[in-house]
Copies of this chain bind each other. A is one copy, B any other.
């Protein structure tokens, strides 16, 4: 493995100048820069990251520690996350270190150790909870990190998120304008921050539109097709209090809901309106539903490059200010939502 010294000997230059040439510094002539880079290629030079890290104090490693192991096929979205992030950091010349903590083990001490080891330049946090202890820990330790989603209690951290408050709000307002008064919400798991924001948005919009809040119309669940089906069936049991519209946390829940409504002989959108949020990760497209599904849409996949950008900024530490980005959500009205049925 060739070193800078090898190149410097081979060319009769100082190590300093070779280093500066390789890193495109200003005070090296174009001629020598070219000579150096040619020699580097010829000798098969590759920078020794350990040596560089030792002097720069940066390892080039970012880490994603995933608590809670796997929870079955629902975790396919997680593979998407890992895939996207690993790629973005690769593009930026950084190594993406993954650690999936087995289920049942407490992840916080692992974060603590990893952060204290100084081996990592930064961390990516996913699956934020409303009051996430990892945010508190890393903030206190002064370790760079970026969160996919927002912690509610520690507002002053870098994150990338979509405006989940607005997602639910748009859904409610759309349905309320169509005359719906009893709107059910099939929300994501309640320990996640985004579910909380959606619930808040739902409640706020109900208030805005002058609608009453009925806790029986809101349910939190793992977002799978199966759960969508059975919980929809439960929410829409026949009776005087039966809702006339349903908001689904994602496309899979909506798919389950469609099945439930079919089984119950309720026609969309005549008997019931359905809207959902589409994060464009599952192969199913809202437009391919029958009837086609009204959605708020914002591609999950736009997160990775943003998260990587933000973390790199954070690591460079040029600015003390935290980067907080909210992605746009697009509202697409389609055939699954319509005017509320007038009493017959």
Contact = CB atoms under 8 A, between A and B. Distances in A.
A47 B100 CA distance: 23
Contact of A44 (B1, B75, B116): B116
A263 interface: no
A86 interface: yes
Nearest to A46: B117
Interface in A3-61: 44, 46-51, 53-54, 59, 61
B70 A87 contact: no
Nearest to A89: B99
A32 B109 CA distance: 28
Given A48-B118, A54-B50, A82 B59 contact: no
A239 interface: no
A98 B118 contact: no
Nearest to A84: B100
Interface in A94-147: 95-102, 116-119
Contacts of A49: 50, 53, 59, 117, 119
Given A86-B99, A86-B100, 18 more contacts: A44-B116, A46-B117, A47-B117, A48-B118, A49-B117, A50-B54, A50-B59, A72-B283, A73-B73, A73-B283, A76-B79, A78-B79, A86-B98, A87-B99, A90-B99, A96-B97, A96-B99, A98-B98
Which of A96, A97, A99 is packed against the most chain B CB atoms within 10 Å?
A97
A321 interface: no
A164 B100 CA distance: 29
A204 B72 CA distance: 37
Given A95-B119, A118-B1, A100 B82 contact: yes
A95 B49 CA distance: 15
A207 interface: no
A153 interface: no
B48 A54 contact: yes
Interface of A: 1, 44, 46-51, 53-54, 59, 61, 69-70, 72-73, 75-76, 78-80, 82-83, 86-87, 90, 95-102, 116-119, 283
A80 B103 CA distance: 13
A48 B98 CA distance: 20
A116 B46 contact: yes
A117 B50 CA distance: 11
A230 B119 CA distance: 51
Given A54-B48, A116-B46, A83 B100 contact: yes
A72 to B, nearest CB: 6
A102 B87 contact: yes
Contacts of A46: 116-118
Contacts of A50: 49-51, 53-54, 59
26 contacts: A1-B118, A46-B116, A49-B50, A49-B53, A50-B53, A54-B54, A69-B83, A70-B79, A70-B80, A73-B73, A73-B283, A75-B79, A76-B76, A76-B79, A78-B79, A79-B79, A82-B98, A83-B100, A86-B98, A86-B100, A87-B99, A87-B100, A90-B99, A95-B97, A96-B97, A98-B98
B76 A75 contact: yes
A116 B1 CA distance: 9
A83 B90 CA distance: 20
